[in-house]
Amino acid sequence: MQFAVNILVLASIYALIASGYVLIYRVSRVLNLAHGELMMFGAYLLVTTAAGLSSSPVVAILLALAMSLMVGGLVYLFLMRRMTGEMALAAVLTTVALGILLRGLILMFWSASPQHPRDTLGWENPVLMLPGDARISLFAALLVASTILVYAGLFAFLRFSRWGMRMRAAGQNPLLAAQRGINLHAVFALAWALSTFTGAIAGMLIALDSGLDSTMVMIGLKAFPAALVGGLDSLLGALIGALIIAAAEVGVIKYVDPLLADVIPFAVLVVMLVIRPWGLFGTREELDRV
């Protein structure tokens, strides 16, 4: 039972982060390789707001979330916007540079020492007992719940809201979308904002659960195979991909060797790329671009 809970928690983390990769890729066909850093940046924003507003933790979290939403939008407006219409490769390389830049910024402002925003906010992280003698920490449980909420929200947004439909339309045929009068820059900025927002939720909850330092980037990077295995332009795929990667990782930790944990997601990724490069639920025509 504990085994299943571990998979569920890890899958939630990966799924939450992977949704960010999918959002941006689906709308603009750009792989955001700075997603891990942006997620970490959100967590560090919480470190700062928590220090300033330790008496009202909820406000601190909401403020940090709002700021990360803005950060995502600003990254698009000031950086990625210039890349629209350019080669996808140029845009992807820009995100790599952005990631390195963010890592440097984080070291400069927050130092490399581990941070514990939960202690700053004065919160406990009690262990909850589940049936079958399994345990889960409070913030890990919140992570699972957040993932469910975020996915339900994203599905509803893309399906029913006008801007969600515009995001789908722009992803399918940006030219036609522009011709119909849809402001593509607004759509792309929204995708970046939402992507950074969901990433920041993951980053903050992980930080609240177990603290953070600059190695959090690795978690962001390991969520990337989850998005790719599922198919980069499918949210459902990201969810399933996250489950597969998490199950493989937890299984190997338990039955083989815990040292292999960081390798497994990429091993699964390589296998997937050989068998089905466009992922489980991805669109096949993307083949030439992967």
Partner 1 sequence: MTAEPLLVVEKLEVVYQRAITAIQGVSLKVYPNQIVALLGTNGAGKTTTLRAISGFLGLDDARVTEGTVTYRGIHLENREPYEVTRHGLSLVPERDKVFPNLTVAENLAVVPGRRGRSNRRMLEQVYHFFPGLKDLRRREAGLLSGGERQMLAVAAGLMCDPEMLLIDELSLGLSPVAVQSLTASLVAIRNELKISILLVEQSAVVALEIADMGYVLENGRVVLDGDAQRLLNHSDVQEFYLGHTGGDRRSYRDVKQYRRNRRWYG
- Choose which of 51, 89, 156, 180 interacts with partner 1 (CB under 8 A): 180
> Which of residues 51, 111, 122, 173 is near partner 1 by CB under 8 A?
173
Q: Is 289 in the site for partner 1 (CB under 8 A)?
A: no
Binding of partner 1 at residue 184 (CB under 8 A)? yes
Q: Can residue 13 be called a binding residue for partner 1 (CB under 8 A)?
A: no
> CA–CA distance from 14 to each of 73, 123, 221, 273 (Å)?
22, 25, 9, 19
Give the integer Cα–Cα distance in Å for 186 and 169. Answer: 13
Q: Segment near partner 1 (CB under 8 A), from 21-29, 49-57, 108-116, 171-179?
A: 171-179
**Residue number with CB closer to partner 1 (8 or 170):** 170
Binding window for partner 1 (CB under 8 A); candidates: 17-25, 46-54, 128-136, 161-169: 161-169
Residue 27 interacts with partner 1 (CB under 8 A): yes or no:
no
**Given candidates 51, 52, 156, 172, which one binds partner 1 under the rule CB under 8 A?**
172
Element spanning 135, H or E: strand 134-137
How far, CA to CA in Å, does 198 sit from each of 66, 114, 282? 11, 22, 21
Stretch that binds partner 1, among 107-115, 179-187, 199-207, 272-280 (CB under 8 A): 179-187
Burial class of residue 127 (count of CB atoms within 10 Å of its CB; 0-12, 13-18, 19+): exposed
Q: How far is the CB of 160 from partner 1 (least distance, A)?
A: 10
φ, ψ dihedrals at 279, nearest 5°: 85, 170
Give me the torsion for CA of 22, 28, 34, 38, rounded to 10°. Answer: -70
Give least dist CB 85 to partner 1, A: 9
Distances (CA, A) of 12 to 15, 55, 225, 244, 247: 5, 29, 14, 11, 11
In whole angstroms, how close is the CB of 173 to partner 1 at the nearest point?
Answer: 6
- Name which of 55, 188, 179 is nearest 121 in CA terms: 55
> Minimum distance between the CB of residue 93 and partner 1, rounded to whole angstroms?
23
**Window contacting partner 1 (CB under 8 A); options: 87-95, 163-171, 235-243, 271-279:** 163-171
Distance from CA of residue 32 to its chain's centroid?
A: 10
Distance of CA 266 to the CA centre of its chain: 17
Local structure of 137: helix, strand or coil: strand
Strand partners, 212: 115
CB 206 within 8 A of CB 140: no
Least distance to partner 1, CB of residue 284, Å: 13
Q: Which of 56, 111, 183, 215 binds partner 1 (CB under 8 A)?
A: 183
Q: How far is the CB of 163 from partner 1 (least distance, A)?
A: 9
The residue written with tokens 């709002």 in the block is 66
Decide if residue 156 touches partner 1 (CB under 8 A). Answer: no
**Nearest to partner 1 of 113, 179 (CB atom):** 179
3-class state of residue 163 by DSSP? helix
175 in contact with partner 1 (CB under 8 A): yes
The residue ranges that bind partner 1 (CB under 8 A) are 162, 165-166, 168-169, 172-173, 175-184
